[in-house]
């Protein structure tokens, strides 16, 4: 029987893409003190509530999507773990320092749990929905077909076009995470160097992250209120 595109035949001695066990990693720096660049528009308590609300919303969307084998939320903040576990995610305590180091911590946990593919999503995507996740997976399927099972990297650009707002990799360690300034070009270059089949995704839903006061202005006020309410509810629900 021919192999499914998501379950390729394995060629010994060479890494192969395999989407059969897709794990998601969601890194969160801290709830308190995070999103400092929003300080001109929101006070510390409001920012904390918004961060918690976006995390809860993203985990709910991932749960509704239902195509992830497991979700790993990694953070050095002990207050994040109850939010993750309440949504059915695995909480990873970050013992390293830095965003990319946190992702590596969670990647190790995912690989130990059997991950064959890894989707890295920041926790500040206020418009993320199931169709957007489907589009990322469709891009991975296209990369699988184009590369006939070779390693793949799906890279979703941030609106600013120099950052990365989603990174889907198979195998999970085919490249190292390089989130931060200039990460889009860094990820593209690393994927080419690894001989991975690359799909660059420009998606207005995935591309919109909430990081500055200008982003708040762009976000629909009703959506902002919904996220803030989710964050406020987290205080009493967890």
The pair of three-digit structure tokens given for residue 4, joined into one six-digit string: 């499914």
Pairing of strands 164-170, 117-120: antiparallel
- Name 136's Cβ contacts closer than 8 Å, sequence gap at least 6: 119, 154, 156, 166, 168, 201, 203, 206
Q: Which domains, from first to last, does the chain contain?
A: 22-230 (3.90.550.10)
> First CA to last CA across the chain, in angstroms?
48
Judge contact between 168 and 139, C-beta under 8 A: yes
Q: What is the residue whose two structure tokens read 């989603």? A: 166
Q: Mean pLDDT over all residues of the chain?
A: 91
Q: pLDDT per residue over 51-98, tens digit each?
A: 999 999 999 999 999 999 999 999 999 999 999 999 999 999 999 999
Give the torsion through C-alpha atoms of 108, 114, 118, 122, to 10 deg: -60
Tens of each residue's pLDDT in the chain, 238 residues: 233 345 454 444 679 999 999 999 999 999 987 787 787 778 888 899 999 999 999 999 999 999 999 999 999 999 999 999 999 999 999 999 999 999 999 999 999 999 999 999 999 999 999 999 999 999 999 999 998 889 999 999 999 779 999 999 999 999 999 999 999 999 999 999 999 999 999 999 999 999 889 999 999 999 999 999 999 887 555 4
92 contacts 109 by C-beta, under 8 angstroms: yes
């Amino acid at each position: 029987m021919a192999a499914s595109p998501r379950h390729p035949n394995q060629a010994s001695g060479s890494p192969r893409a395999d989407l059969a066990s897709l794990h998601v990693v969601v890194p969160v720096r801290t709830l308190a003190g995070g999103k400092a660049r929003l300080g001109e528009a929101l006070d510390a308590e409001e920012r904390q509530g918004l961060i918690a609300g976006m995390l809860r919303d993203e985990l709910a969307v991932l749960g509704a999507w239902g195509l992830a084998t497991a979700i790993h939320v990694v953070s050095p903040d002990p207050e994040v773990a109850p939010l993750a576990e309440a949504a059915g995610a695995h909480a990873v305590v970050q013992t390293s320092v830095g965003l990319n180091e946190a992702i590596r911590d969670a990647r190790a946990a995912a690989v130990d749990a059997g991950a064959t593919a890894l989707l890295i999503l920041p926790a500040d995507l206020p418009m993320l929905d199931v169709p957007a996740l489907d589009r990322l997976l469709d891009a991975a399927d296209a990369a699988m077909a184009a590369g006939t099972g070779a390693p793949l990297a799906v890279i979703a650009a941030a609106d600013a076009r120099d950052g990365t707002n989603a990174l889907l990799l198979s195998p999970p360690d085919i490249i190292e995470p390089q989130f931060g300034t200039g990460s889009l070009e860094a990820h593209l270059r690393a994927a080419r160097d690894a001989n991975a089949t690359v799909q660059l995704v420009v998606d207005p839903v995935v591309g919109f992250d909430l990081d500055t006061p200008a982003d708040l202005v762009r976000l629909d006020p009703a959506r902002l209120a919904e996220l803030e309410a989710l964050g406020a509810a987290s205080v009493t629900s967890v």
